[in-house]
Structure 1
């Protein structure tokens, strides 16, 4: 399996990163945190103009027709920038599922144009995100995936992440468009990719602080203890990235063991982001956990996504069931099958 990022993928990723760096920095995050909607119409329109809502929609249906691997690369950039807009749920999870289901060309066209957003609901989450701004909702019920137009009246809940708008689950209804497993696999994969992007952002902030903060006459980044903490976190981050890429390829190709690879990716990404958040707090010292430090936006997103679409225990159970149950053969002869 080749994990080399192609020139086209690198160009796309860099373009999205540059755009988000220009419009979605800490200043915007603080402005959104102080507003009522926690959303920016200008940022959403910019994402639409870049064609991102149609990223994973086949060309025959008006989209860009890119792969799930491309999707996780963009999801990582959304995490890196701390994007509040529900692009990941609509464009990187709902859109490819609806395209695969067939018969949803009108809705897909509306998604591509930025006129429709899809909220996601599954029993593994005690909430549904961004249902207030959604036009439709994909719900898992009794193993099926149902699509319905969104109705009003959902109860707003609290979130550790001030920029996540969470609501109480609603009664699942609608037409069947797939299976519940496809929803949790795609959503968990995209959450994992965002977690790695979040970890990269926290690493950058901690490293920059370590370069500029001096103690005992030198930058604290020169001390071995700080270097070792950061290096340990970097290893976790870099080891998580190919695991996520493998899961994306396996899921995109419909591999029989894709769900196990997704669970592995979610665990690896969660562990990496969690370790990076702890390290970043330590590097920032007594300032690390305060609201005045921008780091807290990414830490809170990390904590929120760590438990979204299956926490660590949930995904460990899925891996255990596959390995112990024999559906995932292990050993040297199967490592690269």
Structure 2
């Protein structure tokens, strides 16, 4: 069994990463923070790359790709701390609408003319929605009060949780790079602080947590894409693993910066605040732990539904 990405998948992800690195750096985040969090030119650039149509079927003008490719791009969106709601529109709503057979708006999504946003009962807010505004810990998220009509569709929840996890992996990667680079130039006692074992060990722990979260993410994306019965459990697993990795990396990066990461003067705070925001989105820790517990251990009303152990890993 070959778990490696194809050359096309890697080329796609690298292309998006290169594009976002060139158009959505920290200076852009600061400009957006000061000027209203949105720039139509950024969205148009994403449309010209074809990203809103990534998961739209080819007959509706999209690329017809799957959740694994979408998760790879969502990681890059997290890495860039992308302000635009591309992930919610293209990787959550588009596949959900397609799965329900509601294809009427898909062509408009591909063209960037419509940006439907997911509204689910598990979230007490709409990300990037219009209406009564809510204050977010993340200055680049435009939250609004949940409208009266919301969905409780478990498939929508799984799509949202999966893509939040993917962004958290990208956020963690970016924060680890920022902390590592700072440790190379910040000196103490006549040498870079990165030379001290205490710093090395902390950063290494972050790297391990991130690398352990990645295969969990890819498994969940593949399982959900293929309609595997146990997919919701894998989604909960990746949400927990990605959140833990991102929170650990955020805390460590702050410590490496001598707590300056909390301040506006340090770019890190944008990634840190996005991590806090996504950590509680699409189900908090208690919710996802409970889903895994029910599947693996069972409860008073049901037997466990997911067999665990080496004999079942690739079942």
Normalising by structure 2, what TM-score? 0.96
User: Which of 274, 279, 282 is matched with 2:252 structurally?
Assistant: 279
SS in 1 for 2:3: coil
Q: Report if aligned partners of 2:137, 2:277 keep a CA contact under 8 Å in 1.
A: yes
Structure 1: which 4+ aligned runs deviate by more than 2 Å? none
> Which residue in the other structure is 1:303 paired with?
276
1:35 is aligned to: 35
Corresponding residue to 2:224 among 251, 266, 277: 251
Task: Give the 3-state SS of the residue equivalent to 2:175 in structure 1.
Answer: helix
Q: Does 1:159 align with 2:131?
A: no
- CA–CA distance in structure 1, aligned partners of residues 262 and 184 of structure 2: 19
Instruction: Show structure 2 runs of 5+ residues with no match.
Output: 299-303
SS class of match (1:238):
helix
State the secondary structure of the residue aligned to 1:167.
Answer: strand
Alignment partner, residue 12 of structure 2: 12
In structure 2, the residue matched to 1:144 is none
Which SS does the other structure have where 2:118 is aligned? strand
Tell me, yes or no, if the aligned pair for 1:3 and 1:242 is still in contact at 8 Å: no
Deviations 1:188-223 (CA, angstroms, capped at 9, x unpaired): 000000000000000110011011111111111111
Q: Kindly indicate whether residue 84 of structure 2 is the aligned counterpart of residue 85 of structure 1.
A: yes
Hey, which of these two has a bigger chunk of strand by percent? 1
Partner residue in 1 for 2:301: none
Match of 2:212 in 1: 239
The answer as to 2:300 corresponding to 1:327 is no
CA distance in 2, matches of 1:110, 1:51: 12
Q: Who is 2:52 aligned against?
A: 53
Aligned equivalents of 2:308, 2:210: Cα separation in 1: 24
Within-5 A mapping of 1:21-32: 21-32=21-32
Instruction: Report SS of the residue matched to 1:121.
Output: coil
**1:151-200 deviations in Å (ceiling 9; x for gaps):** xxx21011100101111111117xxxx97000000000000000000000
CA separation in 2, counterparts of 1:33 and 1:190?
23
Using the size of structure 1 for normalisation, the TM-score is: 0.90
Superposed CA deviations along residues 241-282 of structure 1, whole A, max 9, x for unmatched, are 000000000000000000000000000000000000001001
| Distance in 2 of aligned mates of 1:58 and 1:121 | 22
CA contact (8 A) 2:122 2:152 kept: no
Measured in 1, the distance between the counterparts of 2:102 and 2:40 equals 29
Tell me the distance in 2 between the aligned counterparts of 1:330 and 1:16.
36
Q: Distance in 2 between matches of 1:333 and 1:222?
A: 43
Q: Matched residues in 2 for 1:286 and 1:265: separation? A: 28
Counterpart-to-counterpart distance in 2, 1:332 and 1:69: 24
- Number of equivalences: 310
Contact map agreement 2:165 2:238 (CA 8 A) in 1: yes
Structure 2 vs 1, CA of residues 2 and 244 (structure 1 numbering), >3 Å: closer, same or farther?
farther
For residues 271-313 of structure 1, give each alpha carbon's deviation from its aligned partner in whole angstroms, at most 9, with x where no partner exists. Answer: 0000000010011114221110000000000000000000111
Alignment partner of 1:305: what SS? helix
What is the match of residue 127 of structure 1? 125
Gaps of 5+ in 1: 133-153
Distance (Å, rounded) in 2 between the aligned partners of 1:199 and 1:129: 21
Structure 2: distance between partners of 1:183 and 1:30: 32
How far apart, in 2, do the equivalents of 1:254 and 1:44 lie?
A: 31
CA distance in structure 2 between the partners assigned to 1:23 and 1:250 by the alignment:
33
Given that 1:3 and 1:245 are in contact with CA atoms closer than 8 Å, whether structure 2 keeps it comes out as no
Once superposed, what is the RMSD of the aligned Cα atoms? 1.2
Taking the aligned partners of 1:306 and 1:23, their CA distance within structure 2 comes to: 26
